Structure 1
Amino acid sequence: MSGHPTAASPFKQPKAVFAVAFACVVSFMGIGLVDPILPAISSELDATPSQVTLLFTSYLVVTAVAMLITGWVSSRVGAKRTLLAGLALIVVFSALAGASPGIGAIVGFRAGWGVGNALFIATSLAVIIASASGGFIGAIILYEAALGVGIAVGPLLGGLLGNISWRGPFFGVAFLMAIAMISTAVLVRPTPVPQRKTGLGEPLRALRHRGLLTMSLTALCYNWAFFTVLGYAPFPMGLDAIQLGFVFTGWGVLVAVFAVFGAPRLQSRFGIARTLYANLALFAVTVLVIAIWTTHPPVLITAVIVAGVFIGVNNTVTTQAVMTVSPVERPIASAAYGFVRFIGGGLAPFAAGKLVEHTNVHVPFYIAAGALVLGILILSTAREHLRHSERVQAAGGEEPADAAPSRLPA
């Protein structure tokens, strides 16, 4: 039994926290938003599946690299201005993507969208943790609830608007993010510029901490599998935009439910390490089912929806662990972790498309299942760091009296 406490009331928060949480919902909608329209874009713009998966790759790889500058920016202009800058970039580039004439332009504008996404994601988590009532654990659960709702609603909105036109989802996000930007500007109080300026190299130097590096590499493997499923599974399903929207909404609902309710209970009962080992293993089995029965839509659809359970649990448990596994400042830890994991998420869909072109539709999913097994092996090297994370979380997110595990060479 872990001593990990369950947050009493993560949803009783100041208005400013809910304004940022709403913006998080819309931001995370951008991840699953394009899923239902991938086949339509491929067909209408005469693009191959691997070209269309670049919508994920450009967005996530640029998000990953831009994560390295988020601390540098926010420490000079303040968290609120960084949030607003990120939101403004998302509004502009999502609208431009909707107005694009071809696949190349959409891919380019999704890259610009990724810069805004990085500025927003890294800063929003830090703002919610700093402003939320109910402590550190409640703040993480609220953040993951926003992520889950965004992932659940994104495909539904993408399917409904995408049934009218593939451009619709992009304009829809621009409109909703504009509302989120206004609410953030009105409800979030101005934040002072930190006294200490963050250096550009600090997120990379933070990865010299063995615990943070190990969690980040595990997340890279996990995200490889996650985005292989998210980015390529829509193609062999053979469904239209609305049908795909409902499939990935079902998946997203499970992500949200297990992120908010399942993950805290499992971690409280079994601890961080055992929860993550079992969760990654079950996710690997599910992806293996997808690999074997890729060309059988009923099995494929069911397995994709079920995968939402393991993604939801992993998101919450891993995020809490990353924020407490090392003595690194949380905004810097978030940026370092985001850089590594989004690299895996960004490369996986494009790699899947290329693998299918040169082999067959099953191979990317076999590799994704293997990546999860590799993630378990990597995670098993950080047992002491995970025990330290549990002690920090048991203390309410504050560093306990005993020192953190020493930094080890990366």
Structure 2
Amino acid sequence: MASASQSAASKAASREEGEAGLHQQSRAVWAVFFACIIAFMGLGLVDPILPAIAKKMNASQSQVTLLFTSYNAVMAVAMLITGAISSRLGMKRTLLAGIVIIALFSALGGFSNHIGALVGFRGGWGLGNALFVATALTAIVTLSKGGTARAIILYEAAIGLGISVGPLLGGWLGAMSWRAPFFGVASLMVIAFVGLMISMPASTSPRNVKAQTSLLEPFRAMKHRSLVVFGLTACLYNFGFFTLLAYSPFVMDLDEHGLGLVFLGWGLLLAVTSVFMAPKLQMKFGTVKSMCAMLVLFALVLAAMGIWTSTQWVVIAAVIFAGALLGNNNTLITTAVMNAAPVERSTASAAYSFLRFIGGAAAPYLAGKLAEWYNPHVPFLVGAAFVLVSVLFIAFNHSHVKHVDDAGTGH
């Protein structure tokens, strides 16, 4: 009886802790949360205006998709130095530096008159995002109540909201001018800067020299097979993710408002499933099995888009439905990475993000080129193939990653 009552008390405490993780956070956590939303608006912000940018700047589809390629390529490389920078500056200063860089290059992008300059400024935006995103995950996990799992859900919710609101804002402002969304993000980042400056404690600065992270730490972390497996899995998965994100606007034949609404639906499903559905899947089926199921379904969705590319309603429905699969998978794989290897969370995040954004950098440009070389169907079919390979890669390395299911069930 005593053990039963202790177990019930433990479950009640765990439940209360989980509720605290989402409802009773400090102002600092909500300030980071709000800034994350704005930062991730940048990911989907340009989606509704890609065709307009191509038209206004007389650029090809592959040239315009470089806006995603430069953004992700710079992010991938910059992720390797985020840990060293944040350990020296402290989380607050690193977050603020990232926000300033995002605001600066977003504004410069709005003033661009040539596709090459816009691509370059978008790369600078990626540098700011790398500093902010990698540090924001660590900040939310460090400052939040309710444990790592709840903190990751909060972080993924911010990503989902940012990704969903971004296209809506991009479509609304983009209908006025393709430049307006860039100025809009710059303005919002100023608000985020003020919020973080006021709300986040300065005590997140490094306490001593020993706490400083070496530039080599992310490379050392990659000696852990589990971390590399998840990183390369995400790299392959991101081929599909960014094929959908960067190329689908060109085949839907919609204006800025229409594209904004489609990606709003996509982002809302991504946000809802990342917060409410992914944890349930993880508890019932395990992290790795659930992840593989989502990846297989996503590959099938991309294949359907590749087969029925010229059927508008199929592509629109597939994009929106894919949001649910991507929301689940993003939370599952982020949770897995945080439990994959015995290294600092910031180091694990940097190493993993470097690997995954390589896929995000290659996919958009490749999708545009495949469409130019062959036809509009091929990019989606190739994306589907990459996602299926990611599932096979996990299956072949299952013995190296199965331990995350045990770690992922705890708070």
Q: Same fold (TM over 0.5)?
A: yes
* Residue identity matched to 2:118: I
Q: What is the aligned partner in structure 2 of residue 217 from structure 1?
A: 232
C-alpha contact 1:272 1:386 (8 A) present in aligned 2: no
User: Any residues of structure 2 matched to 1:194-343 within 5 Å, and which?
Assistant: 194=207, 195-343=210-358
| Corresponding residue to 1:175 among 170, 187, 195 | 187
Q: What is the aligned partner in structure 2 of residue 25 from structure 1?
A: 37
CA shift digits 1:165-205 (9 cap, x unpaired) = 00011001001111001111110001231532211121122
After TM superposition, give the deviation of residue 386 of structure 1 in Å.
3.4
In the alignment of these two chains, the number of paired residues is 393
2: CA distance, partners of 1:290 / 1:171: 33
- Structure 1, unpaired ranges of 5+: 397-410
Structure 2 SS opposite 1:339: helix
* Residue identity matched to 1:237: M
CA shift digits 1:101-159 (9 cap, x unpaired) = 11111111011111100000000000100000111111001000000000110000000
2: CA distance, partners of 1:208 / 1:233: 37
Query: How large is the RMSD of aligned CA atoms in angstroms?
Result: 1.3
Question: Is 1:394 the equivalent of 2:406?
Answer: no
Q: What is the aligned partner in structure 2 of residue 75 from structure 1?
A: 87
CA shift digits 1:70-125 (9 cap, x unpaired) = 01111111111111100100010000101111111111101111110000000000
2: CA distance, partners of 1:299 / 1:15: 43
Q: What is the aligned partner in structure 2 of residue 192 from structure 1?
A: 205
Structure 2 SS opposite 1:164: coil
After TM superposition, give the deviation of residue 385 of structure 1 in Å.
4.0
CA shift digits 1:26-65 (9 cap, x unpaired) = 0111000000000000001101110000100001110110
Structure 2 SS opposite 1:100: coil
C-alpha contact 1:157 1:245 (8 A) present in aligned 2: yes
% identity of equivalent residues: 53
Q: What is the aligned partner in structure 2 of residue 407 from structure 1?
A: none
**Structure 1 length normalisation: TM-score?**
0.94
**Structure 1 residue runs of 4 or more that deviate by more than 6 Å after TM superposition:** none
Q: What is the aligned partner in structure 2 of residue 405 from structure 1?
A: none
1: CA distance, partners of 2:384 / 2:278: 22
CA shift digits 1:221-249 (9 cap, x unpaired) = 11110000000000011110000000000
2: CA distance, partners of 1:332 / 1:313: 23
Question: Is 1:122 the equivalent of 2:134?
Answer: yes
Q: What is the aligned partner in structure 2 of residue 381 from structure 1?
A: 396
| Corresponding residue to 2:105 among 86, 93, 103 | 93
C-alpha contact 1:325 1:385 (8 A) present in aligned 2: no
Hey, which of these two has a bigger chunk of helix by percent? 2
* Residue identity matched to 1:10: G
2: CA distance, partners of 1:182 / 1:243: 33
Q: What is the aligned partner in structure 2 of residue 355 from structure 1?
A: 370
Structure 2 SS opposite 1:328: coil
2: CA distance, partners of 1:186 / 1:9: 23
* Residue identity matched to 1:192: S
